Amino acid sequence: MTAETIEETRREAMLEKIESLHAEQTKAVEAGGKYIARHKERGKLLARERIELLIDEGSAFLELMPLAGWGSDFAVGASMVTGIGVVEGVECMIVASDPTVKGGALNPWSLRKSFRAAEIAEKNFLPSINLTESGGADLPTQKDIFIPGGRGFRDLTRASARKQPTISVVFGNSTAGGAYVPGMSDYVIMVKERAKVFLAGPPLVKMATGEETDDESLGGAEMHSRISGSSDFLALDEHDAILQARRVVARLNWRKQGTSPDPTSYEEPDLDPEELLDLIPTDLKEPFDPREAILRIVDGTGPNNAVAFDEFKPLYGSSLCVGWATLHGREIGILANARGVLMSEEAQKAAQFIQLANQKDTPLLFLHNTTGYMVGTEYEQGGIIKHGALMINAVSNSKVPHLTVIMGASYGAGNYGMNGRAYDPRFLFTWPSAKSAVMGPQQLAGVLEIVARESAEKKGEVFDAEGFKGIKDMVEGMIEEQSLPYFLSGMVYDDGVIDPRDTRTVLGICLSVIDNQPIEGAMNFGVFRM
């Protein structure tokens, strides 16, 4: 194939994946189905419309985890919309119930999503705004959410104690556990004749105590604003409530505490990000040079001829490429897999580079395309375990903010060494071409076959290779499906699947968000086995 044909084939395959990504994301937007029209007829705004009015005009909203719950019995999006938006110039974590999906009731995936949103707010020191209208716990799955769900209220009050303000705007029903969201928030706004905030609604009160009461006396916005004091501001309608929330944020006296200079200008990349589609193979067996991707993501050379990507140790451990760059004017260190497999040299190089980033308080970006650490006698004797452990030690104990993008393969302990989800990256995004699992589907099915064959031989039985083929095919299909980005995003193992062309913008927003607090690298790591 000529270079042009390869590029064309890759572009077509990636565009197909991006189209399918948009179709899956649309499922989250339309998850309410027939209840969307009913909600509008009631004169209410949709969750996404509330967010759009809340954030500064023309500013971006970085939606996070839109595919939560994908592949589960629950609607895609998990009955809530979360993300980071700028309100009165302040980057805020926004969590909005989607009342058109099961009355905004929280299911086990909503819980995972809201916990992750709280974690992102905590790690990056962001004020949070809850746009509440939720029927509380999804009652049929209460066993999975009631006990762990208490953490949501704990997180709110701990955020307040850390001086991270919490704001709750109540647009409708906010029953039982839902009542503690405004209850625990620093600032509460309730919409007149709409907000209903009570520990138990009239039917339950009647059952429990025999008292006959009504929604308004029990938990209406007027009552909470004039009598109970659980509301600080009575809003006339939804638009007024959003305006009042913006006023609250404007008065937070919020100052970013980061030490990076706020960039006023920066160069666009030297190479066109659009070309990423021609370069990134969707067939993970095809190699690609990550430098080609890096130069389409980071800031360009500029008039003073600065080098866009300053590679460190380029002649050593060449399966991992590491170096320094700026992105939207902010300094970063990058570690990117170049030829899939990680060997001892790559692991040592990574550990050294991570230490250097910590020494100079610089965030790190990990770009995954790895099949894991090298196996085999030569490599075991060369100490691949201790060198892999060295890299994982450095990643685990590094204190500078980490960003991760899974571009292609992310298999085995390579996922750990390259700062996978379990290693607490501040943000983790996936490209539609990515795959992540303990190993590739064929390899996993092949290992299972070898184990089954040996087990049969040990028992003196004849191994039924033909019969095992069905199991092998089934396992292969299952692992293939479980390795795909939507599945992993559905499990909330990432913060979103993104179009590769948006990577620069998304990471630029993340770096700005990270700058809400100072960066202080670690100089203490665990014991390095040398």
Applying CB under 6 A, the residues found at the interface with ligand COA are 102-103, 105, 135-139, 173, 175-177, 201
Distance, CA of 457 to CA of 314 (rounded, Å): 49
Identity of the residue numbered 275: E
Nearer to ligand COA, 197 or 279 (CB): 197
Strand partners, 132: 170
Distance, CA of 139 to CA of 244 (rounded, Å): 33
CB of 491 to ligand COA, least distance (A): 22
- Find out whether 70 and 124 touch, Cβ atoms under 8 Å: no
Nearer to ligand COA, 217 or 455 (CB): 217
Nearer to ligand COA, 175 or 371 (CB): 175
CB of 424 to ligand COA, least distance (A): 31
Nearer to ligand COA, 100 or 393 (CB): 100
CB of 72 to ligand COA, least distance (A): 15
CB of 118 to ligand COA, least distance (A): 20
Instruction: Considering only the C-alpha atoms of the chain, give the largest distance between any 2 of them, rounded to a whole number of Å.
Output: 81
Label each residue of 235-292 as H, E or C. Answer: ECCHHHHHHHHHHHHHCCCCCCCCCCCCCCCCCCCCCCHHHHHHHCCCCCCCCCCHHH
CB of 65 to ligand COA, least distance (A): 21
Nearer to ligand COA, 198 or 493 (CB): 198
Nearer to ligand COA, 218 or 385 (CB): 218
Nearer to ligand COA, 105 or 327 (CB): 105
Strand partners, 83: 63, 94
Nearer to ligand COA, 105 or 242 (CB): 105
Distance, CA of 366 to CA of 402 (rounded, Å): 7
Residue 428 CA, chain-centre distance (Å), reads: 5
- Find out whether 417 and 392 touch, Cβ atoms under 8 Å: yes
CB of 82 to ligand COA, least distance (A): 19
* Tokens, residue 440: 């590739």
CB of 102 to ligand COA, least distance (A): 4
Who's near 107: CB < 8 A, 6+ residues apart?
69, 74, 78, 79, 138, 141, 145
Tell which phi-psi region holds residue 55, choosing left (phi > 0), alpha (psi between -120 and 50) or beta: beta
CB of 77 to ligand COA, least distance (A): 15
CB of 100 to ligand COA, least distance (A): 8
Between the alpha carbon of residue 447 and those of residues 276, 378, 479, 481, 482, the distances in Å are 35, 21, 13, 18, 17
